[in-house]
Amino acid sequence: MPISRDFFARPAAEVAPELLGCVLEHETVAGLVAVELTEVEAYAGQADPASHAYRGQTRRNAVMFGPPGHAYVYFTYGMHFCVNLVCQGEDSASAVLLRAGAVVAGEDLARARRSGRKPGRKPGDAPDQVRLASRNLARGPARLCRALDIDRSLDGADVCLASSPLRVRGPAQGARTTVRSEDIACGPRVGVSRGAEVPWRFWFAGDPTVSAYRPHVPRQRKLVTP
């Protein structure tokens, strides 16, 4: 059974730490891949300068302004997808970004997706020789989406329905029978330039699948020499 919608109908900063240990599943014709969430970040909608919803509703972020328990999938840096779960009530536009997880089902399929043709790689280039370590399969928000084959077609998907291809279940049986608060660490969010002071990134302390923290660094423009 997926998590109830009431679970998500709360402030994102409250939902986020409780999502750790929950399992995100995506079922496709190729099979099922599931990850146990190990790292998340909360975004407080229009009140949060780091949120995509800060400047109001656009076509891209429209799902954030809808009911809780739905997936907000966005495309960024010209090649990556990231997935959020909408929280609180309608129009609050708050959400939790899923940053990393440990693959608990469909590892072979996840590895095949992650080892496939990469962005920027030309057809005909040599295929990957290295076998990805299990802990790296969903280590990072864009990698998590690639391992689960999540793209904009899943934008708005209801993760509270058992019949949905994308859904969230409670903590995995046996994996972490109890999630203890002392296992959860928090700190500033990754890669945000504004709103970096609030400790709304949550992760399992010491977990190898957690992505490395990187402070925001503005990109340098390419110099064009005449």
Partner DNA sequence: TTGCCGATCTTCT
Partner DNA sequence: GAAGATCGGCAAA
- Interacting residues with DNA (CB under 7 A): 41, 43, 50-53, 55-56, 58-61, 75-80, 82, 84, 95, 97, 114, 118-120, 128, 140-144, 146, 189-193, 211, 214, 216, 218-222
Least distance to DNA from the beta carbon of 60, Å?
3
Least distance to DNA from the beta carbon of 167, Å?
19
Residue 43: beta bridge partners?
A: 95
CA-wise closest residue to 93 among 59, 128, 63, 126: 63
Least distance to DNA from the beta carbon of 178, Å?
28
Beta carbons of 12 and 46 less than 8 angstroms apart: no
Least distance to DNA from the beta carbon of 222, Å?
5
Identity of the residue, 9 or 196, whose beta carbon is nearer to DNA in the bound complex: 196
Distance of CA 203 to the CA centre of its chain: 12
Beta carbons of 17 and 33 less than 8 angstroms apart: no
Identity of the residue, 26 or 189, whose beta carbon is nearer to DNA in the bound complex: 189
Please return the burial class of 125, using the count of CB atoms within 10 Å of its CB with bins 0-12, 13-18 and 19+. Answer: exposed
Identity of the residue, 10 or 114, whose beta carbon is nearer to DNA in the bound complex: 114
